[in-house]
Chains A and B, each alone.
Chain A
Amino acid sequence: MTGTTDVRDRADEDDLVARLRAGDEQTFAALVDGWSGWMLRLARAHVPTPSAAEEVVQDTWLAVLEGLDRFRGEASLRTWVYRILQNQAKRRGVRERRTVPFASLTPDDQGPTVDPERFQGPSEPHPGGWRRFPEEWPEHAALSREVHEVVTTALTVLPTRQRVVVTLRDLDGHTADEVCDLLGITVGNQRVLLHRGRAVVRDHLERYFTGTPTRSEVS
């Protein structure tokens, strides 16, 4: 996310907005190229198919152009674009699945993230201790095609809010504070959603690497 169009500096951003308003096509093209990656991922967190995500991103850029004269710089340009994207994605995603407000946690976000069966019960010698240690994962090439697929599949089964938080944090490298700001959630809830999402992805990787069934398949 540290591309050439990554604007961190207020002066840079004012300059960027000025160039866009002046109709500088190169600036717009650079911004589209620099930002569409994270926008597609985020759109994908809300809608079910890659083509729907592409349409959301297209619509977002059109809405950005339409609203550019109204942009007052109260939030950063990136945050402003993100909010437009979220509205576009929700509008489209609402047909596929119910959208859940980000601010509060749901039953999806509660309970243990590791199957309680893997820990000893109260009458056993070490209550809460592993019955059997997690099996070591074999050495593997950084991100093989297969591992890539396992991780991508795991992301698709996550509840939407967990997927959005994991996408922002671990795929796009936003900080916790940025994610809280973008989504309007507390630091605590951000951490819960992130932890649960990561734990599910780890579970899928574990199954792939060790050949054990995932929780969802057991239950």
Chain B
Amino acid sequence: MTCSEFVELVTAYLEGTLPADQRAAFDEHLALCPGCETYLEQFQETIDLLGELPEESLSTPGRERLLEAFAQWRRTSGGDGP
């Protein structure tokens, strides 16, 4: 496996979807190549950073509008119905 092949297989490796022989070749390359080891680490770090992006939330007026809409919907649809 070359480095240029290695970098294209990183997600498949992390997902655990590589066939056994490719996975063995990937692990072997990883053990021997500091450049690809760094690449894999940075790829994992990228995924970690993506996961740390803060959650967004609705604006307060937006949230209130929805709760009003719900109250309105409850009145007009008669809630649970008969």
- Chain A residues within CB distance 8 Å of chain B: 21-23, 25, 28-29, 32-33, 36-38, 40-41, 44, 50, 54, 57-58, 61-62, 65-66, 69, 112-114, 116, 119, 126-130, 132-134, 136-137, 142-143, 147-148, 151-152, 166, 170-171, 173, 176, 187, 191, 194-195, 198-199, 201-202, 205-206
Counting CB contacts under 8 A, is B58 at the interface? yes
Counting CB contacts under 8 A, is B31 at the interface? no
Counting CB contacts under 8 A, is B11 at the interface? yes
A sample of 11 more A-B contacts (CB under 8 A), given A28-B66, A114-B8, A195-B12, is A22-B79, A32-B63, A57-B58, A113-B7, A127-B2, A128-B4, A129-B35, A133-B34, A171-B53, A173-B51, A205-B42
Residue of A nearest to B34 (CB): A133
Contact of A114 among B7, B38, B49 (CB under 8 A): B7
A199 nearest CB across to chain B (Å): 8
Q: Are B65 and A58 in contact (CB under 8 A)?
A: yes
Q: Are B70 and A41 in contact (CB under 8 A)?
A: no
Contact of A130 among B35, B42, B54, B58 (CB under 8 A): B35
Residue of B nearest to A142 (CB): B52
Contact of A112 among B8, B45, B47, B56 (CB under 8 A): B8
Counting CB contacts under 8 A, is B67 at the interface? yes
Hey, which chain B residues are within 8 Å of A116, CB to CB?
4
Q: Are A65 and B70 in contact (CB under 8 A)?
A: yes
- Chain B residues within CB distance 8 Å of chain A: 2-5, 7-8, 10-12, 15, 17, 33-36, 38-39, 42-43, 45-47, 49-59, 62-63, 65-67, 69-71, 73-74, 77, 79-81
Asked whether A201 and B50 contact (CB < 8 A) given A22-B79, A37-B55, A137-B45, the answer is: yes
